[in-house]
Structure 1
Amino acid sequence: MKRVLTVIFGGVGLVLLGMMTRRWWRERKHRRAAEQAKRQLEQTRKERRRRVRETDLPEYQLCVVCRQNPREMIMLPCGHVCLCEDCSEGIVNLCPVCRTKITNKTAAYLA
């Protein structure tokens, strides 16, 4: 009887271990894919900013904080498009233009 229980619980343990390993592997795979996509997006943004800097944007299209990158983030609820992606990560509380509390930020696609 003891031997049967040992085999049963050992088998259940192996099945659970296999399921946990499979789940961990899938999560790791998704996490790596997300990190790769994030790195690729950041590289694309940096390249775009570099090209934009070389074209000498008019003053009104530059980020109000760094004055180098193009404005590309909308502050909500006020709606000001005043920051680049880099500067928007550091400014989380108040809009730099009107000092309204920022509740959300989103990318602006300006032509």
Structure 2
Amino acid sequence: MDVLIHVFVALHIIGIASLLGGFLTQMKAMGAGTARFVPAMLHGALTMLVTGVALVGLNEADGNHVNNIKIGVKLLVLVVVLGLVYIKRDEETVDKGAFAAVGGLTMLNIFIATLWT
């Protein structure tokens, strides 16, 4: 079971890398007002959602303690990010506020995951 959990953790990290990487590649365009949500951002957020839910289930099944409040906060942040990216995915440009919010919330999710013990 530990190997399976570690595989899903790796996939979860790949998802966050895709979401954050897509944001970082568009930072220069954000300054120019031409930023858009690239497909990597949507796919990364969806990967995070699926693997995160799987990780909670696998850890519960393995008898590990899961901090449900932390998971709930992370899920709420991710749902907001996913909603913003999904709704505005086809727009040619996205306003700076929405784009910055996705980047900030993504980094918030990383800090919650690593600092909340």
Q: Give the TM-score normalised by structure 1.
A: 0.33
- Greater relative contact order (Cα 8 A, min sep 6): structure 1 or 2? 2
Q: Greater helix percent: which structure?
A: 2
TM-score w.r.t. the length of structure 2 is 0.32
Higher share of residues assigned strand = 1
